[in-house]
Structure 1
């Protein structure tokens, strides 16, 4: 269990306009949150890095929540380690390439850390098998 007071480093994988980043910031008031997204998926109408950043400024979270453009199918910054990675409704958009994205994220989550995914898949068996083998 992660104490709410922890100074966690949290990754919001596929952050969109920052909803999960906002929730993470509220649940973990001492955490530093990094949101990454391509900001190009057609499901995110008018999404942009600038809009996500502005959302956090409006919510007075701009000092703890930062966004950058990044494709999860590419490796994340090797200098960055996260205690927690979260993602909401992202991986179904990647098809089988989601396994590459999973690997890239797990490579940056500290041993004993957490990766929490909420998504929709017709069959979860391949994903469950992947995580059983990797975690």
Structure 2
């Protein structure tokens, strides 16, 4: 089973109107545990940057989910989203223009291994991107160069403890289906910290996500529904009834995962700062 085709089907279904697109973003924010972790970090960082005019880069913007969240969290910000997929760039530019955010938010096609805008951004966010890029240290150097002194980088990525969007090794065929597009199975804590240090970052905080509560939640909220949709689209009709039962449990598990400390986990949440001059 491939994960991206299911996401594209869902994206197309919810992209009929701006309202449905916003509903889609809200559903992703509710269901994706990584969105819970990213949102918590952004809110914590935002407390010390309230009311400031910020420059933000969404590095690997995809559907624009996190760009939309940041445009609301930081209304005075200027946000650029970059992605290698031309069709997604055009789609996101069209959507954000339609909802009146065209002056605040802009999307461009870009290769992160070549992206470098000297000391432009206060914040760089990269969610589920680095596991797709072989030349990761070059990208980390580009992020560092593009940040202002004192700027912050947030990364959400799979760990080497069974990550790469599988989060479950019960069935080997499932694992391969979920990680076909990844160039590495995940990062070790020491590995990504050392790479970021070599790229020029300091004050690096790396913590595990998708601990025991998150693994269960992921199966309930994402893995099982996606598997059902992979069997037949008729399950679109049944999904609302499934989530009426599953989501309260999943949300509680997400809360424990976000607010707990995990000795291991299948995801990583990374914060790194560019030293001030």
* In structure 2, C-alpha distance between the alignment counterparts of 1:33 and 1:115, rounded to whole Å: 14
Matched, 1:70 2:135: no
Match of 2:72 among 17, 26, 33: 26
Offset, 1:60:
2.4
Unpaired runs of 5+ residues, structure 1, are 41-46
CA drift at 1:90: 0.5
Aligned-pair distance for 1:131? Answer: 2.2
CA–CA distance in structure 2, aligned partners of residues 59 and 117 of structure 1: 27
- The aligned runs of 1:1-135 (5 Å cut-off) are 1=45, 2-39=48-85, 47-78=87-118, 81-95=120-134, 97-122=135-160, 123-133=188-198, 134-135=200-201
User: TM-score, normalized by length of structure 1?
Assistant: 0.85
Tell me the alpha carbon deviations over residues 4-45 of structure 1, each in whole angstroms, 9 at most, x when there is no partner: 3110000010111211111111110100001111116xxxxx
What is the aligned length? 127
Question: Which TM-score applies when normalising by structure 2?
Answer: 0.43
- TM-superposed deviation, 1:86: 0.6
Counterpart of 2:167 in structure 1 is: none
Q: Is the helix fraction higher in 1 or 2? A: 2
C-alpha RMSD over aligned residues: 1.7
- Structure 2: state its 5+ residue gaps: 1-44, 161-187, 202-277
Query: Using CA pairs below 8 Å that are at least 6 residues apart, which structure has the higher relative contact order?
Result: 1
